[in-house]
A and B are shown apart, each in its own frame.
Chain A
Amino acid sequence: MAIFGLWVINKAGGLVYQRDFADGLAQLTSNEYLVLAGTLHGIHAITSRLSPTGSSSGAQVIEGETFKMTILLTVTGTKFVLLTSLTEMTADTVLQKVYEAYADAVMKNPFHTPEMPIRSEGFDTRITTLIGTGQSS
């Protein structure tokens, strides 16, 4: 059980926050992260249109052989993406708490510009406490 990384994607598909939580992960350049986040944004939009039975909010979990990607779409269109191991069960609750931290430390911060990259010390601290506890349990 492990949490590998967290992405925050704004409603236009831009990556505004990206952070790794484990050592020895395969690294990508920041440009690659931006491209992948934009692609995921597109894929997510496609999955929301694919539903054969009524409307859908789009993909929530994408699983691979070695990892799992849990996506939380908020009502404002911001996406929180958590990359975890396959056995990680707490991804949903962690994402809810990340959303809460985002609402507090980012949206209530007068020095943050909406839709722009998140550079808020308060958010970093909140995430550190949050994911730190998420890993130990």
Chain B
Amino acid sequence: MSQHPRFSVLSSSSLSSDHSHVQSPTATSTTSRFSLPSVNTTPTSTTPKPPGQRPNIYDRPLNKTRTAEVSASAFAFLFSEVVQYTQKRVAGINDLERRLNTLGYRIGSRVLELQTWRTESSSKAPKRETRFLQALMSIHTHVWRSCFGKPADGLEKSVENDDEYMIVDNDPPITRNISVPRDLSSLSCSSFTAGIVEAVLDGLGFPARVTAHNTPTAQYPGRTVILIKVEKSVLEREEALK
């Protein structure tokens, strides 16, 4: 099977059909997740820039785009294609969710970096979230706002399990136009969002396993819960820091 470098993330997860790296996402799959799109970067660095052309996307000032927005329609079509592309290459719902999660993970690591960079340049006392609850709050508010333009609708702690936390979104913008057919009813395309959350938590040093679940209510048919299952080490450290 010839592998295109850009698709290395997808193909590597398809080859490992065992579920081991789902259980501990940080242990085995981190190397494959950070593959860079080498195809895009090479031509820009070698060819000289013709005068009067728009600057390369990598050269644009990052703070200028702080409040820039992306067309929701354009994103909806792109995401729809992403789901269709992924669906053609998987065996089942679990596999599909895992791949969407992996794609989101790549977004999340960039979101975290960009956010850290922006707070560093704008506030006088930039701060890195070191406590778990503060980190969750920041994801609930800041990450959600920069990704979806609004804070999430709820942050809850599981009553049954100490290591489970939930971020609730009543109407996730990226799945607003998606109607999942009955035979796939347990599928949640918000696994993509779960991947973003997982990457941000990982980057902040709180390794966790993050999944998405549909929990429709009469008022909010698209209500989704992002379930965060943190690793034991995180809770132990929190306990020690108290």
Contact = CB atoms under 8 A, between A and B. Distances in A.
Nearest to B221: A125
Contacts of A121: 179
A120 interface: yes
B180 interface: yes
Nearest to A111: B181
A108 B76 contact: yes
A19 B87 CA distance: 30
Scoring A105, A107, A109, A123 by chain B CB atoms within 10 A of each residue's CB, the highest score goes to: A109
Scoring B76, B80, B87, B178 by chain A CB atoms within 10 A of each residue's CB, the highest score goes to: B178
B184 A111 contact: yes
Contacts of A120: 179
A110 B73 contact: no
Interface string A104-127: 110111110000000111110100
B84 A110 contact: yes
Interface residues of B, number: 18
A20 B73 CA distance: 29
A110 B87 contact: yes
B177 A105 contact: yes
Nearest to A119: B181
A110 B176 CA distance: 12
B107 interface: no
Contacts of A125: 221
Contacts of A110: 79-84, 87, 178, 189
Contacts of A107: 77
A106 to B, nearest CB: 9
Interface of B: 73, 76-77, 79-84, 87, 177-181, 184, 189, 221
Closest 6 pairs (CB-CB, A-B): A110-B83, A108-B177, A122-B179, A108-B76, A110-B80, A120-B179
Given A110-B87, A121-B179, 12 more contacts: A105-B179, A108-B177, A109-B80, A109-B178, A109-B179, A110-B83, A110-B178, A110-B189, A111-B178, A111-B181, A120-B179, A122-B177
11 contacts: A105-B179, A108-B73, A108-B76, A108-B77, A109-B178, A110-B81, A110-B83, A110-B178, A111-B83, A111-B180, A111-B181
